[in-house]
Structure 1
């Protein structure tokens, strides 16, 4: 499974880069993360609980950062084991470029799964991996910019009701 995307973040590249190196920010951005500890130099230990189709598992694993060019790019690589559910591993090449109003963040993600998870089929796995990547970078953007109403042509993220999205758009709960 491979995917790519680009996001505009209203923060300077140095701030975006620093956020990607912070375990507390990573914990708040990784969907289902219950624990993220460590450092960029030594790597991070992470626990993530997720439900993929009918399979729910807690993955414990290692996340490493490499190819780090300050305020420009880095590679995030992770591998986790979810017991009987199987394993997940993948990586993201993340690039940042200064643009008017902040940072253009682009990423290429590759994910692989094995065990029971692999038996679910590529369509479920691909959809789940895309949703996880989108949610991570949406959470990162919201962490850096603060919550805000989406732009008019933006569709609500997967799993979010239209009422919640419309409420944010109109400023009503």
Structure 2
């Protein structure tokens, strides 16, 4: 499966980068996200509970970061296991750039699924993935609007603070999509 797109986010590039690295924001934006924990500077463990139709399952996943260039871009590799439901793995490239009214977030994901989830029709899998990605972006944009007043969208220097790498949100969204694919089998 391949998926790409872009969205304008109502926050500066730095604010969006920080939001994408905030575990509480990620948990609020990713449907079914139960945990996000750093296990190394470039690796994270993620837990998700997903329900698709009558099927529900818990998935455990790993995310590995590379080519991290704050606050502009990163590449991440992800893999997740859902037991009997199957697995998912892939890569995602995410880029943030300044734009009028906030920043532009562009992404390109390549993923594959296996096990029972792979037996679901590709059109259904693609539809679920796009729906979950759209849900994530709506929630993320709402979180950014809550955190930053419209006047704060003007470029400002944001204070540095330790956060989870920004690539994590796209990996989680991809893992959620892969989990949904597995469950749809």
Give the structure-2-normalised TM-score: 0.72
Q: Which has the higher helix share?
A: 2
Give the 3 Å change call, closer, same or farther, for CA 135–92 of structure 1 in structure 2: farther
CA RMSD between the two structures: 2.0
1:114 match: 114
Q: 1:98 to 1:40 in 2, by over 3 A?
A: farther
Residue 140 of structure 1: SS of its match in structure 2? helix
Give aligned pairs, total: 147
Tell me which of the two structures has the higher relative contact order, counting C-alpha pairs closer than 8 angstroms and 6 or more residues apart: 2
CA distance in 2, matches of 1:28, 1:39: 21
Q: 1:39 offset after TM fit, Å?
A: 6.6
- Aligned-pair CA distance for 1:142: 1.4
Distance in structure 2 (CA, Å) of the matches to 1:22 and 1:139 = 14
Matched with 2:92 is 92
1:70-108 Cα deviation digits (max 9, x unpaired): 111112332110000011223321111111221011111
Unaligned runs of 5+ in 1: 148-173
How many Å apart are 1:45 and its aligned residue?
1.0
Q: Gapped runs of 5+ residues in structure 2?
A: 148-185
- What residue number does 2:183 align with? none
Task: List structure 1 segments (4+ residues) > 4 angstroms apart after TM superposition.
Answer: none
Cα gap change, 1:98 to 1:39, in 2 (>3 Å): farther
